[in-house]
Amino acid sequence: METMTTEQKILKAADKIFTQKGYAATRTRDIAEEAGTNLALLNYYFGSKEKLFKNVVQGKLKMLLGAMGPALSDGQISLEEKISLITENYTNLLLENEELPIFILNELTVNRELFAKITQNTRQIAQPVLEKQLKERGFEISATDLIINVLSMTLFPFVAKPLITSSGLVKEEEFVNFVTDRKKKIIEWIIKITL
Amino acid sequence: METMTTEQKILKAADKIFTQKGYAATRTRDIAEEAGTNLALLNYYFGSKEKLFKNVVQGKLKMLLGAMGPALSDGQISLEEKISLITENYTNLLLENEELPIFILNELTVNRELFAKITQNTRQIAQPVLEKQLKERGFEISATDLIINVLSMTLFPFVAKPLITSSGLVKEEEFVNFVTDRKKKIIEWIIKITL
DNA sequence: ACTTAAATTAAACAAATGATTAAATCATAT
DNA sequence: ATATGATTTAATCATTTGTTTAATTTAAGT
């Protein structure tokens, strides 16, 4: 288990704290301590707080986009399966990484410049295939609206979790069940909308 | 126009910068400068950065919850009108305050303790009325799911705007039209889902 | 064993930052 | 006019924070 290199330990610690508190509120000393190493090693291995952050963000962004990308552009997969795949993937991913979307979305908002460089290599979300599938079956909704709706219903509960729980809409203990139950419901809802 | 008191000028400046950059990334000096006043005045009037922040947050939270609260618990308003009211209110509010939801949701996530005090006075989101209306008309969806769905489809595009635009799903220039068009669509979609 | 480079540590630096102080200015009431 | 209190300013403090430096230890190759 203790086969992690120091560099990896720092990256793991950085991942945890950056995701938890965001870039600005994170102290490099906290990362070093969490990693069980020295503060200087952070700069030794990663150069600066900002470079370390970019490293973390790149990974997180890949996780977030990776849960959607492949499914969408595959012409073999039916519409229903695509929706099912996306909600299933995201729900499972976010159950293991609850702060992931709010972290990415907030840093993306606060730090446009920093993200410009990172996201430029981000593959565009391909929708021509989806557009074609919708047209073939005579659906009126646009691919963009469909994607946004699926993402909205799936991701929003995680993004807004603190508000949802503290307002009493869903109790903290019920949250996992709530989003798990929604997986099936979302598919039905999207089908109803799309028809 | 220049009838604002210094205290108000500071609060307005704080509102702008906190919302833009979040608590941790905001420098009290920047607030003072934006307000066209002195750094010491910030502490003179508000005591500390944190107290000023709470002041700002309280206002923002009221805006965000205010757009939903009244409509929900009113038994006179029909289901369709409620949905319409909520999406209409939120879309209009967020078109004028694009960073509002991501700001609140992120600070709420990062800063649970600080928010515990603020949100304790927050009225619970009342849903018994809605629950009753749903039951009367024989709908199967729960009030919670309905509310979450409306909020998801309405708020999510604003929360995820940077991701949506940078991924090419919606172009920056088209965004206002996109969310404006969705107002009508969301109501239709929700009706379809709920039936 | 010896050499060399990589890895690690402790200490210190310089800049940034939230907060405070003390003096100066302004407004208002007597 | 004067006194009193509120407001404003400039300067300074103390701490935090990202980064660097220099010395030490570890590992690997010869």
Both tokens assigned to A130: 């989806």
The reply to whether A182 Cβ lies less than 7 angstroms from strand D is no
Distance between CA A122 and CA A104 in Å, rounded? 14
Residue of A27, A163, A186 for testing the chain B interface, max B β-carbons within 10 Å: A163
CA-based nearest distance B36→chain A, Å: 23
Residues B129, B119 share a domain? yes
Residues B29, B66 share a domain? no
Residue pLDDT, tens place only, B22-64: 999 999 999 999 999 999 999 999 999 999 999 999 999 999 9
Task: Determine contact, residues A95/A179, Cβ cutoff 8 Å.
Answer: yes
Q: Is A73's pLDDT higher than 80?
A: no
Amino acid B75: pLDDT: 78
Chain B 151-170, residues with CB within 8 Å of chain A CB atoms: 151-153, 155-157, 159-164, 166-170
Nearest to A52 by CA among A100, A98, A103, A18: A18
What's the distance, Cα to Cα, between the start and end of chain A in Å? 51
Residues B158, B100 share a domain? yes
Residues A59, A14 share a domain? no
Residue B57, chain A, CB below 8 Å: the answer is: no
Query: Residue A109's closest chain B neighbor by CA?
Result: B162
The residue with greater pLDDT, A76 or A52, is A52
| Residue-range definition of the domain harbouring residue A24 | 1-47
Amino acid A56: pLDDT: 96
**Tally of structural domains, chain A:** 2
Beta-carbon separation of B182 and A145 below 8 A: yes
CA–CA distances in Å: residue A83 to residues A48, A80, A138, B141, B164: 41, 5, 17, 20, 18
Both tokens assigned to A73: 């552009």
Question: Rounded mean pLDDT of chain B?
Answer: 90
Residues B142, B59 share a domain? yes
Instruction: For chain B, give the percent of residues with pLDDT over 90.
Output: 70
All residues of chain B having their beta carbon less than 8 Å from the beta carbon of residue A168 are: 124-125
The DSSP code sequence of chain B is: -----HHHHHHHHHHHHHHHH-TTT--HHHHHHHHTS-HHHHHHHHSSHHHHHHHHHHHHHHHHHHTTHHHHH-TTS-HHHHHHHHHHHHHHHHHH-TTHHHHHHHHHHHTHHHHHHHHTTSPP---HHHHHHHHHTT--S-HHHHHHHHHHHHHHHHHTHHHHHHTTSS-GGGHHHHHHHHHHHHHHHHHHHH-
Residues B15, B108 share a domain? no
| For range A14-24, the mean pLDDT | 97
Distance between CA B87 and CA A42 in Å, rounded? 47
Task: Report the largest interatomic distance among the alpha carbons of chain A, rounded to a whole angstrom.
Answer: 61
Residues A76, A39 share a domain? no
Residues A128, A84 share a domain? yes
Amino acid A189: pLDDT: 96
Beta-carbon separation of A104 and B163 below 8 A: yes
Nearest to B154 by CA among B178, B119, B120, B134: B178
Residue A31 sits in a domain whose CATH number is: 1.10.10.60
Amino acid B30: pLDDT: 97
Residue pLDDT, tens place only, B97-155: 999 999 999 999 998 876 676 665 555 666 788 888 888 888 889 999 999 999 999 99
- DSSP-derived letter for residue A123 is P
Which phi and psi (to 5°) does residue A154 adopt? -85, -45
All residues of chain B having their beta carbon less than 8 Å from the beta carbon of residue A192 are: 192-193, 195
Amino acid A1: pLDDT: 47
The reply to whether B28 Cβ lies less than 7 angstroms from strand C is yes
The reply to whether B39 Cβ lies less than 7 angstroms from strand C is yes
Amino acid A156: pLDDT: 98
Q: Is A90's pLDDT higher than 80?
A: yes
Residue pLDDT, tens place only, B147-168: 999 999 999 999 999 999 988 8
Q: Is B16's pLDDT higher than 60?
A: yes
Query: Residue A148's closest chain B neighbor by CA?
Result: B157
The confidence band for A2, taking pLDDT boundaries of 50, 70 and 90, is low
| For range B7-20, the mean pLDDT | 97
Residues B83, B17 share a domain? no
The confidence band for A78, taking pLDDT boundaries of 50, 70 and 90, is confident
| For range A3-20, the mean pLDDT | 94
Distance between CA A132 and CA A144 in Å, rounded? 12
Residues A83, A136 share a domain? yes
Amino acid A142: pLDDT: 93
User: Is residue A113 classed as helix, strand or coil in its secondary structure?
Assistant: helix
Residues A66, A28 share a domain? no
Provide, in whole angstroms, the distance separating residue B6's CA from nucleotide D21's C1'.
47
Could you count the other beta carbons within 10 Å of the beta carbon of residue A47? 11
Amino acid B154: pLDDT: 97
The reply to whether A26 Cβ lies less than 7 angstroms from strand D is yes
Residue A148, chain B, CB below 8 Å: the answer is: yes
Residue pLDDT, tens place only, A113-155: 766 766 665 556 667 888 888 888 888 899 999 999 999 999 9
Residues A111, A38 share a domain? no
The reply to whether A25 Cβ lies less than 7 angstroms from strand C is no
Please give residues of chain A from 50 to 79 whose alpha-adjacent beta carbon (CB) lies under 7 Å from any atom of strand D: 50
CA-based nearest distance A73→chain B, Å: 14
Q: Looking at the C1' of nucleotide C11, which residue has the nearest alpha carbon?
A: A40
The reply to whether B191 Cβ lies less than 7 angstroms from strand C is no
The confidence band for A69, taking pLDDT boundaries of 50, 70 and 90, is confident
